[in-house]
Amino acid sequence: MELKFDADVESFRAEVSTFIRENLPDSIASKVAAERMDLPREDQQFWHKKLNKKGWACHHWPSEYGGQDWSDAKSYVFEREIALNNAPRPLTFGVGMLGPTIIEYGTEDQKQRFLPSIANGDILWCQGFSEPNSGSDLASLQCKAELDGDEYVLNGTKTWTTDGHFSDWMFGLFRTDNTGKKQHGITVLLFDLKSAGVTMTPIITYEGIHEVNQVFFDNVRVPVENCLGEHDKGWGVAKYMLGLERFGTAEVSRSMASLSRLKKMAKNIAVDGQPLISDTAFSAKIAEAEIELRALGITEQRFLFQPGGADALGAEASMLKVRGTEIQQRIYELMVEALGYEACIALSSDKYDTAAARMPADMYGGAAHMTRAYFNFRKTSIYSGSNEIQKGIIAKAVLGL
């Protein structure tokens, strides 16, 4: 079932779809269609700039900052068309997290300095929250920022920094006071990653991809005017940002696109001379995943189009995140199952292209990266608040436990 919207929303859907088809280069779309996790900076920036020129990159920002004041229905349709047409999203950390937070908490000077370059995708941002001993219990973070005149001096480390290696600036949480409750004494700072004393080491994940990093600070100096929100009171700012991050993590539209690739694979892969899709046991597994995804899609629509819309989401966002990531991971499991032993070959980087070459031509891009994506997407039930933490929220807010 696909919800039908009013004529103006449906004609907007067609406009978005046409815009993507006319403007998104095949070289980028094919990487997204291949489930590649390592989309280069140039590709992300190129597409972001295209969307921004059209006025769509920051559509959810207030209109005085370049937003579009779209209805929830239009935002929903936009997200869906982006996913179904294999387009990257606008730059997430800047546009999705930092921009709205600067609009909410920033000074006038910060709005002037940072918002235009975020909107235009000139400066890429990364998120410096987690530390080696502070993830779920984020308020226990210990990376220090000490005031010295009109500068903060940073010492310590941040980890799991996604895309840090090709980002320009970081927004991070730093410990500015250790005497009170752990939520007190946290300050949000914005700084250039080229500042003296910042070093970064790659973390290569199991599937061989460089997506995350550990960042070290050795007496890094940050001007006080780069403090976002109040000194020592960054926990409220952080919670605001994390609320923005959780929205959209159900990934229904992306999973729909992945599911259609899975079906294509199952049609193309032959087992004993027959397409895998004709294997009733395997096609039943696909059908089960599709039913669950459709049910989640309807639940998401029910939540999003309730009175108050997306802004009224509370524990519902946690439910969507848990179920959405479970289904997403299930689809990748089925892709690996469909690939069979080819999946093992694909994971070994030296034989990776060989495995790709053995796939039927129209499956290259549809299959070669699946094994890596399978391992990579184990992350989705960990980041943005792990699924165990989300279940804790549901238990408390919904069940009153």
Q: Which residues bind ligand FAD (CB under 6 A)?
A: 126-130, 135-136, 160-162, 212, 379, 382-383, 386, 388-389, 392
User: Closer CB to ligand FAD, residue 189 or residue 265?
Assistant: 189
Residue 64 Cβ vs ligand FAD, minimum distance, rounded to whole Å = 29
Residue 194 Cβ vs ligand FAD, minimum distance, rounded to whole Å = 19
Shortest CA distance to 276 belongs to which of 287, 261, 265? 265
Q: How many residues does the chain have?
A: 401
User: Closer CB to ligand FAD, residue 117 or residue 205?
Assistant: 205
User: Closer CB to ligand FAD, residue 275 or residue 392?
Assistant: 392
Query: Which residue's C-beta sits nearest to ligand FAD?
Result: 135
Beta-carbon contacts of residue 252 (< 8 Å; ≥ 6 apart): 293, 296, 297, 300, 324
Residue 388 Cβ vs ligand FAD, minimum distance, rounded to whole Å = 3
User: Closer CB to ligand FAD, residue 195 or residue 386?
Assistant: 386
Rounded distance, CA 242 to CA 390, Å? 12
Calculate Rg over the CA atoms of the chain.
22
Residue 123 Cβ vs ligand FAD, minimum distance, rounded to whole Å = 16
According to DSSP, the residues that pair with 155 across neighbouring strands are 144, 218
Distance, CA of 276 to chain centre: 32
User: Closer CB to ligand FAD, residue 345 or residue 382?
Assistant: 382
Residue 190 Cβ vs ligand FAD, minimum distance, rounded to whole Å = 14
According to DSSP, the residues that pair with 198 across neighbouring strands are 217
Residue 249 Cβ vs ligand FAD, minimum distance, rounded to whole Å = 12
User: Closer CB to ligand FAD, residue 45 or residue 159?
Assistant: 159
